[in-house]
Amino acid sequence: MKKATLTDHSAFNGDFLLGLVLLGSSLFVMIESLRMPMRGSSGFLMSPGFAPCLLAGALFCLSAGYTVGAYLKGGARGLRPWLRRAVTDPDSRRLGILVILIGGYVIALAGRIPFSIATLIYHGAIFYYLNVGNFLKIVVYSILATLLVAFVLPMLFEMPLP
Amino acid sequence: MNWTLVLQEWKFLPHAIVGVLSSPVLIVTLVLGGLLGMIVGMLPGISAVMAMSLLLGLVFQVPADVGLGLLVAIYVGAIAAGGVTAIMINIPGTPAAAATVLDGFPMAKQGRAKEAVEASFNASFVGGILGALVTLLLLPLIAMIALKLGDWEIFLVALLGIMLAGALAGKSPLKGWISATLGLIVAMVGMEEIWAYPRFGYTPELIGGINFVPVLIGLFGLTEIFSTLKQRTPYQIESKSGRIWLRVKLIRTHFVTIVRSVFAAVGIGVVPGVGESAACWLGYDLARRRCRRPDHFGRGAVEGVVAAESANNATAGGALIPTLVFGIPGSGPTAILLAGLFMYGIRPGPLLMIEMPGFAAKIVVLFWFSSLATMVVAVIISPYFIRILSSPREILLPIAGALGVLGAWAAGFTLFDVYCMLAFGIVGLILRQRDFPLAPMVLGVLVGRLADTSLRRALLTYSSDITGMLTRPVGLVLMVLIVVTAVSQWRSARVKKKSECNGPLR
C-alpha cells in the first residue's frame, strides 16, 4: 500500500470532499426532521422527526470526525488538480461509459420498449464495449443472456415485465 | 411453556425421523426444494420469499408434510447458497451472507474459491442441523427469553447488529458507522408507522418508502459491477474446479467456532425482524475475538467463512421460535412459512405443543433433512456452479446487472424500484471508492424502520418513567454489550492504525 506523507495529500482529497457532502446531507436531514410536526403529549420525543434528527446528529458528528481527519492530512489542498485528474483518468472514463450503458438500460429502455428487446440491446452494447469476443460471440452471449433474463425467469416466477 | 411439553417433543423425534425416511415423496420434495432454494439464493435479486410465495398456491394441493417440507427446503437452500455468490462474485445472495464476503471473496481471489465454497456449505450444513437441535432442546428457555423481549430490546438488538457490522465490515469503524447511519436514514423515508406521517415524502413513490431489495441489489450488485468492470483487465477467479464434499476434518477443526456461532445465532435469531441479519455479524465477531490470529480475518480466513455461514444457517432455527410459539414471523421466509401453517389449519401459538404434540419435532426434523438435502444437491451440482461463477467477469457481471434490474422490478413491480437500484449503485460506488464498507448500510436499511418504531413505542410506553425502560434485565445486558463492543472495536482499530504507521484513511 502506498504510504502517505505530509506532502502526499491527494489520497485525502476525495475523503475531504465526501466528508463535506456528508456534513451537508446530515444538516439537510436535521432541518427537515425539525420541521416535522410534533405529535402526542411527549413533544419532540414522539415526533416523526425524532429518529431522523437523532440519526442526522449522529451522522453529523461522525462525518465531522471524518472530514476533520482528512483536512488535517491535507485533504483541502490541491482539490482542483485532483478533480481534473479524476475526470481525465481512463478508469473514470470507462466507469462513466458503464454508468451510461446501465443507466440507459434502466432509464431509457426498460419500461419504454419491450423488455426483451431492451435487454438484448443492453447486452449487445455492453458485451461489445467490454470486448468479450468476436461479433458472433457477442450475438450468442446476448441472446442467451436475454433468454435467461427476459423469458426463462419471468416464466418460471410468473412475473409481469417492465 | 414447561419442560414436560418439550420432553414430549423429544420423544416424537424418532417418530418424525422415521416419518421422513419412509416417505419417498417427501425426500424427493426436500431435494427439489433444496435445489430451487439454491438457485434462487444464487441469483442476485431473486429471493427465497419470491420462490416460497410462488409455491404457496401449490403446497395447498399436497399433504401438509410435503408442502411444509418444500417451503422449509427452499428456505434452507436459499440461505446456504447465499454465501456462494458472496464468495464467487462479491455479491451476497441474501443479507444474511453479508459477513461471508469479508473472507470468502479474498479466498476466491487467492484461487481458493472451491475451498471457500466447501467451507461455506459444510458450515451451513452443520450450523443448520445444530441450530434446529439447539432450538428444540432449549425451547422453553428461549421462549422464556423471547417473552421478555419488548420494543426496547428489539431496538437494542438492531443497534448491536449495526454497531458490529459497522465495526467489522471495513478497516475503519468510523467509516462503517457512517455507512450504517446512512442506511438508517434511508430507512426513515416514507410513511412512518406510529403517526402515519410521510417523512421525506417529496413524491408519491417516496411516501411509500424505499424498498429494501433494490437497495441491496444496487449497493452490493451494481457497485461490484461498476468497480470491477471499470478496470481494463478485471480480476478473474482462477480456482480448481471440482466437487465439494462433506469434510469431517474441516468440521472437526472448526467445531468450536461452529458451536459458538450456533448458540449466538439461536439466541439472537429469536428477536423478530432483526435477529437474522445481526446473527452472522455476531458469529463472525465472536470467532475473530477468540482466534489466535485475528489479523488473518478479512484476508481470506476459512474460520471467518465458517463462523458467518454457520451463524446465518443456525438462525433459521432461532427464527422458528417466534414463528411457532408466538405466531410472529421473524423474517420474510418465516412469514411465508406461517402463511403455509395457517393454510393447513395449524394455529401457531403458545398452545401449539398441547394441541398438536409432535409438530415442533416434525418441523425440526424437516430442517435437518433439508440441510442434508441441500448438502447433497451442493455436492452434485458444485462443479457446475463453481465453473459458471468462475466465468470471465466481463460476461458474468453484465448478466448479473440485467438480473438485478429484474430483481429490483420484482420487488414491487414499479420502475421507481429499478431507479432506486441504479441510484444506490452509484452511491455505493462513490462510497466504495473511499473504502466505506457497504454491508452496514444495507443492514441499516433492513432494520432501520423496525428499530425506529420499536424505540418510539418503548419511549411511549415508558414516557412516565424512563428508568423502568433502562433497567429491564435483558435490555441492560444488551446495553453493556453495545458499550463494550463500541469501545473494544474503537480501541482495536486505533491499535491497528498505529501499527500501520501513518497510512492513508482508506
Residue B334 has a pLDDT of: 82
* Residue B239 included in any domain: no
pLDDT band with cut points at 50, 70 and 90 for residue A6: very low
With a CB cutoff of 8 Å and minimum separation 6, the contacts of B332 are B47, B48, B49
With a CB cutoff of 8 Å and minimum separation 6, the contacts of B427 are B218, B219
Asked if B260 and B300 count as a contact pair (C-beta separation under 8 A), the reply is no
On chain A, the residues whose CB falls within 8 A of the CB of B501 are 3
Q: What mean pLDDT is reported for chain A?
A: 89
CA-CA distance, B230 to A96, in Å (whole number)? 9
Chain A from 23 to 52: CB within 8 A of any B CB: 29, 32, 36-37, 39-42, 45-46, 48-52
What integer is the mean pLDDT of A153-161?
86
Contact A149 B177 (CB under 8 A): no
* Chain B interface mutation, best of A98, A120, A146, highest count of B Cβ atoms under 10 Å: A98
Q: What angle do CA B388, B312, B424 make, to 5 degrees?
A: 65
Residue A99 has a pLDDT of: 95
What integer is the mean pLDDT of B475-485?
87
Chain A from 82 to 101: CB within 8 A of any B CB: 90-92, 94-95, 98-99
ipTM of the modeled complex = 0.92
The three cell numbers locating residue B347: 394455529
Is residue B288 left, alpha or beta, with left meaning phi > 0 and alpha meaning psi from -120 to 50?
alpha
**Residue A79 class from Cβ within 10 Å (0-12 exposed, 13-18 middle, 19+ buried)?**
middle
Residue-wise burial string across A32-55, b where 16 or more C-beta atoms lie within 10 A, e elsewhere: bbeebeebeeeeeebbbbbbbbbb
pLDDT band with cut points at 50, 70 and 90 for residue A12: confident
Residue of A nearest to B50 (CA): A157
What integer is the mean pLDDT of A12-24?
94
The strand pairing partners of B191, in sequence order, are: B198
Residue B59 has a pLDDT of: 77
Contact A127 B398 (CB under 8 A): yes
pLDDT band with cut points at 50, 70 and 90 for residue B160: confident
- Calculate the alpha carbon distances from B486 to A57, B8, B99, B132, B491 in Å: 18, 43, 18, 31, 9
- Answer with the residue of higher pLDDT: B162 or B424: B424
* Residue B504 included in any domain: no
Q: Which of B38, B138, B63, B41 is nearest to B364 (CA)?
A: B138
Q: Does residue B277 register a pLDDT over 60?
A: yes
Q: Does residue B419 register a pLDDT over 90?
A: yes
Cβ–Cβ contact A67 with B under 8 A: no
Contact B502 A66 (CB under 8 A): no
Contact B229 A130 (CB under 8 A): yes
CA-CA distance, A24 to B334, in Å (whole number)? 40
Residue B503 has a pLDDT of: 44
> Residue B105: what residue type?
F
Q: Give per-residue pLDDT as tens, A77-113.
A: 888 888 888 888 888 899 999 999 999 999 999 989 9
Q: Which of B273, B357, B380 is nearest to B319 (CA)?
A: B273
Cβ atoms within 10 Å, residue B148: 11
What integer is the mean pLDDT of B205-216?
90
Residue B464 has a pLDDT of: 67
On chain A, the residues whose CB falls within 8 A of the CB of B232 are 90-91, 94
The closest CB to that of B200, out of A18, A32, A153, belongs to A32
On chain B, the residues whose CB falls within 8 A of the CB of A52 are 185, 188, 199-200
CA-CA distance, A29 to A36, in Å (whole number)? 11
Residue of B nearest to A91 (CA): B230
* Structural domain boundaries, residue B53: 3-234+244-498
Q: Which of B98, B135, B110, B107 is nearest to B13 (CA)?
A: B135
Residue A7 has a pLDDT of: 47
* Residue B398 included in any domain: yes
Residue B371 has a pLDDT of: 94
What integer is the mean pLDDT of B315-324?
74
Residue A76 has a pLDDT of: 87
* Residue B116 included in any domain: yes
- Calculate the alpha carbon distances from B115 to B247, B287, B305, B379, B462 in Å: 11, 19, 10, 13, 51
* Residue B358 included in any domain: yes
Q: How many domains does chain B have?
A: 1
Residue of B nearest to A53 (CA): B185
Q: Does residue B169 register a pLDDT over 90?
A: no
Q: Does residue B139 register a pLDDT over 90?
A: no
* Residue B503 included in any domain: no
Q: Give per-residue pLDDT as tens, A100-149.
A: 999 999 999 998 999 999 999 999 999 999 999 999 999 999 999 999 99
> Residue B61: what residue type?
Q
Contact B185 A154 (CB under 8 A): no
Contact B402 A105 (CB under 8 A): yes
* Residue B24 included in any domain: yes
Cβ–Cβ contact A11 with B under 8 A: yes
- Answer with the residue of higher pLDDT: B467 or B246: B246
* Residue B506 included in any domain: no
The strand pairing partners of B198, in sequence order, are: B191
The three cell numbers locating residue B154: 428489539
Asked if B257 and B307 count as a contact pair (C-beta separation under 8 A), the reply is yes
Nearest chain B Cα distance for residue A131, angstroms: 8
With a CB cutoff of 8 Å and minimum separation 6, the contacts of A123 are A141, A142, A145, A146, B398, B399, B402
Chain A from 92 to 151: CB within 8 A of any B CB: 92, 94-95, 98-99, 102-103, 105-107, 110-111, 119, 122-123, 126-127, 130-132, 141, 145-146, 148-149
Cβ–Cβ contact B423 with A under 8 A: no
Range scoring the smallest mean pLDDT among B27-41, B186-200, B323-337, B340-354: B323-337
Nearest chain B Cα distance for residue A153, angstroms: 9
H or E stretch at B190: strand B190-191
Residue A117 has a pLDDT of: 97
Residue B158 has a pLDDT of: 85
The three cell numbers locating residue B284: 463472525
